[in-house]
Amino acid sequence: MKITKIKGYYIQLPLKEPFVINYATYDSMHSVIVEIHTDTGLVGYGEGVADEHVTGDSAPGVYANLEMIAPSLIGLNPLNIEYIHKKLDQMILGNPALKACIDIALYDILGKHAQLPVYQLLGGQTVERLDYAKVLSVKVFEETRKDIDALLADGYKVIKVKLGGNINDDVKKLKQILDYIKDTDAEVRVDCNQAWSNPKAIIQALSTINDPKLKWIEQPLKAHDIEGMKYLYERMQVSLMADEMIKDVKDLASLKLPHFDLLNVKLMKCGGIHNAVKIIRFAEALGIECQIGSMVESSIGSAAGYHTAMALDNVKTTELTGPLLFSQDIGNLTYEIPYVYLSEEPGLGINVDKDILKALTDKQFEV
């Protein structure tokens, strides 16, 4: 089998409402879609969603670099995924969202060639079904309370709250949220997106909270502040999750002793399914449970994450809800709150709506 043609699309996925985190507000998500054709007639789809604060690359960069390297992939066997990753690493440093985009399309082709869903190729089914959290962007408590009412009415059980300001104000809001849900069966996760800065102040502020409904605090400090994370890990009563500080398996392997309880793995951050499997397996050997997280991808990227989560027992939670946030999506991943259901069709099992793809495309190329 050989790659005969590659199409790239730069698209904007419209959000139902703005998504706010501590360093940005998004009205739409910029995504790059790749379509890889083969001489057997099989076509694979992949997606790259970048964020300079997390992946180190940007959506325009992913598109430009995909167009640049695409000619070098023509003629290669798409089933040789390890080889193609090696070639990509030789051609361009970093750029994990770009590599994830290509990687996901290769696995889609592999699954279609084998006539199996991707998760069956990665190890098979480890759980009956996958659930996910509802992510709430940064808002004042009064607005967050309304969101909580709506999500509980919809049937969500897990609330992920984005914080990212003054530590004392954030903890005050967190206490209000925990008090508001105390008589429900919901639980709370917190994601700070690197917004806090003083480990001692964090410990002091969090010491006033002792609530079993608070499951973890995710990446409160800057990605490079390894000593700060160690300080928190040794003193926090609640579990500590790493995200931006661990991009790939090399980052994890470089730590003599990881100073966190949990790890958020994102395909866009590590370079796709192939590299996600490596880091999840390594984390398992260290006794660190993993989550598959999201960069707010469409059904294509989200399905790739869910296939990985389905197959690997060390993935205990998922947060891939991009398709639920969009007013238009290019795929058909099936969500029934609070669960997602993967298709048993070969590959990713995603049918791409060509009309919507065309409508959302800002620019495209073909080689």
* Active-site amino acid positions: 162, 191, 218, 243, 266
310 vs 145, 230, 292, 315, 336, CA distance in Å?
Answer: 32, 31, 10, 8, 17
Rounded Cα gap, residues 213 and 248, in angstroms: 30
Q: Where are the alpha helices (DSSP H) in 43-165?
A: 59-73, 81-91, 96-114, 118-122, 141-154
Q: What's the CA angle centered on 74, arms 68 and 77, to 5 degrees?
A: 130
Rounded Cα gap, residues 353 and 367, in angstroms: 21
Q: For residues 104 and 275, is the Cβ–Cβ distance under 8 A?
A: no
Give 198's contacts (C-beta < 8 A, 6+ positions apart): 167
Quick count: other Cβ atoms within 10 Å of Cβ 135?
A: 23
Return phi, psi of residue 301, to 5°: -65, -35
**Token pair recorded at residue 336:** 């029934």
Quick count: other Cβ atoms within 10 Å of Cβ 253?
A: 14
Distance of CA 94 to the CA centre of its chain: 17
Give 285's contacts (C-beta < 8 A, 6+ positions apart): none
Rounded Cα gap, residues 358 and 66, in angstroms: 19
**Does a cis peptide bond (omega within 30 degrees of 0) precede residue 338?**
yes
Rounded Cα gap, residues 170 and 192, in angstroms: 9
Give 129's contacts (C-beta < 8 A, 6+ positions apart): 339, 340, 341
Rounded Cα gap, residues 238 and 10, in angstroms: 41
Q: Which amino acid is at 165?
A: G
